[in-house]
Amino acid sequence: MLTAGLFVGAAPAQAATCTLVQSEIYNGANIISWAQGLEGCSGDVYWEIQSGDSGTWQVAQSGTTHYDNNVQSYYGDVDLPCYLRVYAKFGSQEKLTQPARNNNCGVG
């Protein structure tokens, strides 16, 4: 019985696993998209959309988004840099997408 009790006690710790989710950037014909969020927990994720348009990576947009055990899709086109990548951080977890070219960017 003691072993069964220890096993049951270990199960909730497994359920508390928290994973930062950051998909690669999808570059469609008329849209750029990616998904980001948390699986297994709630919390605030710091994110950056980084631009490589000038030849070096610079932060174009940044913020913090609260996720409650969910993953959300993001879309854009002319509002995003011509060459971009997305960075996300939650606690000690960090994700960085591969760079993608945005053919619909607003060059002005």
Give residue 107's pLDDT band: very low, low, confident or very high (50, 70, 90).
Answer: low
Q: Does a structural domain hold residue 61?
A: yes
CATH number at residue 73: 2.60.40
Give how many domains the chain has, as a whole number.
Answer: 1
Q: Does a structural domain hold residue 43?
A: yes
pLDDT digits (tens, 9 = 90+) for 43-92: 999 999 999 999 999 999 999 999 999 999 999 989 999 999 999 999 99
Tokens for 31? 């849209």
Residue 71 is part of which domain span? 19-98
Q: Does a structural domain hold residue 14?
A: no
pLDDT digits (tens, 9 = 90+) for 24-33: 999 887 899 9
